Amino acid sequence: MRNILGKYTAVLLLFFWLGGCAGPHPKPEQASTPKSSPAVIEQPTPVELEKPGPAQPKPPVVRQRPALPPAAKNFISQARAAKAAGNYQRALLLLDRAQRVAPKSAEVYLEMARVQKVAGNLTQAEQLCLKAVSLSASDKQFRRVANRELAYIRNAM
């Protein structure tokens, strides 16, 4: 009996001891401020909001045409010479090489359109000219030249 009483007493003491640890703990701000001094509440300073003026238009995004690599320039000049000599197949072959060197070059596509126009392939010339216009980015002068060439091609159709 004494053994059972000792076990109950040990369990009871254990519950009281753990119960004291499980009580409410003070919050950190309560622990750091002394209870005798009143809490000071700072008033927020008023912030004046700027009234939005007239909306400023965003500047347009200017995309520059990529510079033509020297190899592509060389192929284009050789293609122009072949076209002047009447060798349109050679000119197209050289321009195809230039296109592989500079695939996003509007100049190459425009020159291919010119060769196709002279060779009599007006539908292909029109498609190549449209591609040159789409790649011309914001170069207004080049776009004007390409649109003029496109108009010549469409008039010849």
Residue 96's φ and ψ, nearest 5 degrees, are -65, -40
Is 43 a domain residue? no
How far apart are the C-alpha atoms of 63 and 126, rounded to whole Å? 24
8 A C-beta contact, residue 146 and residue 129: yes
pLDDT tens digit string along 120-139?
999 999 999 999 998 887 78
Is 101 a domain residue? yes
For position 116, which CATH number holds? Answer: 1.25.40.10
pLDDT tens digit string along 3-54?
665 666 766 665 665 666 555 655 655 555 555 556 667 666 666 666 666 6
CA proximity to 155, closest of 135, 127, 126: 126
Is 54 a domain residue? no
Q: Which domain holds residue 133?
A: 70-156
Is 5 a domain residue? no
Look at 100 and 22; give whichever has higher pLDDT: 100
